[in-house]
Amino acid sequence: MKFIFLLLLTALSVFGAEKVIFSETFTKPDALKAWRQILKKDGAVFTVAPDGLHVNHKHLKNGGGFIEIPVPLIKKGRLDFDVEVVLKQGQRPGIGLMVELYNISTFFHDGCRDWRMYFPEANVKRLPYFNIEPVGHHKISSVARNKKIHYRIRFDEESDLVEFYAGDMKDPATARYDVSVFGHAFYRGGYLRIGSFGYAPSDYYSRITNLTLTEEDNTVNHTAVRDQILVFEGMGSDHYVMKKLFSRETKNIRSYRWESSGACPGNFNNCQYFKMPGFATLDNAKYIIFNDAPNVQKTLQKKMLEAVSNGAHLIIMGGLFTLGNGDFVNTPIGDALPVKVDKKWNLAGDSKTPLAISGTKNKGILYYYFPAELTPGAEVIFKAGNVPVMVSKKYGKGRISVFCGTPAGPDVKNAFWRTGCLQEMLDKIIL
């Protein structure tokens, strides 16, 4: 027995342990006894039933209220809960159920059938003409009515990270890498709140149960199975088709596309990533590829470099929106590359005098490229003429590689993206 206990202790120290800080199913009659209730007259009503907590939203403007319970401040963890928005025929929901932890607030905007997040933000970040709380709110995911859905909020205070999950998704529905997890709770103490926003066109209720706050260990899982290919897709993705280039591992490819949110009402760039990998996903990354796509937030970059240091391979596919104008200058990833980058579209070459890529059986030509000034430890894998076009270097247990060519120029049959030339170059660095 003593041996088994020591073995368990060793396993916990290697793989990290989790600790349940708070848990409530709301199925026992006295489940609300420890909760403080702040309710408005004729406003929301909170009742415990055998199937969980019923939050009754009243047909009364600003007639909300909430219940709260103190919880410890934990720097890294997750909040899990199940919610069902219950609607009968003829009932019309408004802004209903709210679930809040520390500085992280979410609510169910059932009129739009979605789950939303918000953080206290400055006036300049408020939505136009939206001057009441919650300010600066953003959609997380869609919500099905009359169906129980599992929700998860993961957070890391030291990284200013909050991830939001709905259902059984592997990646978060959305993530924020630039917010304070604690906010005023750092000084006032932590609370877990469940509320009703207090603006419902008709009476209805939401059911919530299986509420659990879990502290996660800071131990990095160095034993994670690295089998995921994470591709950040940009403007040149139609030339660099990763599902073909990594055809042996297509089932493990996850794409994160940089795209427009719709019509652009002004003279500015309205492209952005609408989905990002979670930190747990990066722990399983085998390849992280920027496919002529711009950089991401610095917190996420640091996590990517941590994954590379532990064995992943970061690949930057050159293009006008990566090496050219992809915000890699003076960033964690930019500083780690085997080539130096700058903010200019510093393209060399022309459309009349192509360079032949050497060292591949499938011949290919290159018109435009980024002049590669190598950094310490860089190794030139392929050249076009005397120009380095594939450069790589070790980074911890992993590797960082950069393709300095671009898919610009005449789209002729022997352009490098038309032949098997690019496949050979990638096979050389990934094997």
Ramachandran assignment for 262, one of left (phi > 0), alpha (psi -120 to 50 degrees), beta (any other): left
pLDDT tens-digit map of 292-321: 889 998 888 999 999 999 999 999 998 888
Tokens of 230: 């994470």
Which pLDDT value is given to residue 136? 65
Which pLDDT value is given to residue 5? 33
Cα distance between residue 39 and residue 313, in whole Å: 54
Cα distance between residue 256 and residue 366, in whole Å: 27
Query: Residue by residue, what is the 3-state secondary structure of 369-387?
Result: ECCCCECCCCEEEEEECCE
pLDDT at position 361 over 60: yes
Q: Which amino acid is at 29?
A: P
Least confident of 98-107, 153-162, 220-229: 220-229
pLDDT tens-digit map of 16-66: 578 999 999 999 999 999 999 988 877 889 999 999 999 988 876 667 889
Residue with tokens 């059984």: 168
Highest-pLDDT range among 6-20, 162-176, 313-327, 371-385: 371-385
Across the range 101-119, mean pLDDT stands at 85
Which pLDDT value is given to residue 135? 55
Which pLDDT value is given to residue 13? 35
Q: Does residue 17 or residue 68 have the better pLDDT?
A: 68
Return the closest-CA partner of residue 94 out of 127, 61, 132, 141. 61
Instruction: Name the band, by pLDDT with cuts 50, 70 and 90, for residue 222.
Output: low
pLDDT tens-digit map of 394-423: 999 999 999 999 888 888 999 998 888 989
* C-alpha gyration radius of the chain: 26
Pairing type for strands 285-291 and 228-233 reads parallel
pLDDT at position 84 over 90: yes
Which pLDDT value is given to residue 190? 93
Which pLDDT value is given to residue 4? 36
Instruction: Name the band, by pLDDT with cuts 50, 70 and 90, for residue 250.
Output: low
- Long-range CB contacts for residues 177-181, cutoff 8 Å, separation at least 24: 177/276, 177/297, 177/298, 177/299, 177/300, 178/297, 178/299, 179/103, 179/104, 179/119, 180/103, 180/119, 181/75, 181/102, 181/103, 181/104, 181/155, 181/156, 181/157
Cβ neighbourhood burial of 60 (10 Å; 0-12, 13-18, 19+): middle
Percent of the chain residues topping a pLDDT of 70: 85
pLDDT tens-digit map of 169-197: 778 888 887 788 998 888 889 999 999 88
Cα distance between residue 304 and residue 281, in whole Å: 10
Q: What domains does the chain contain, in order, with CATH numbers?
A: 17-215 (2.60.120.200), 228-430 (3.40.50.880)
Least confident of 82-96, 110-124, 199-213: 110-124
Which pLDDT value is given to residue 6? 35
pLDDT at position 2 over 80: no
Cα distance between residue 95 and residue 112, in whole Å: 9
Which pLDDT value is given to residue 34? 95
Across the range 157-171, mean pLDDT stands at 85
Cα distance between residue 392 and residue 402, in whole Å: 6
Which pLDDT value is given to residue 269? 57
pLDDT at position 223 over 80: no
Which pLDDT value is given to residue 308? 96
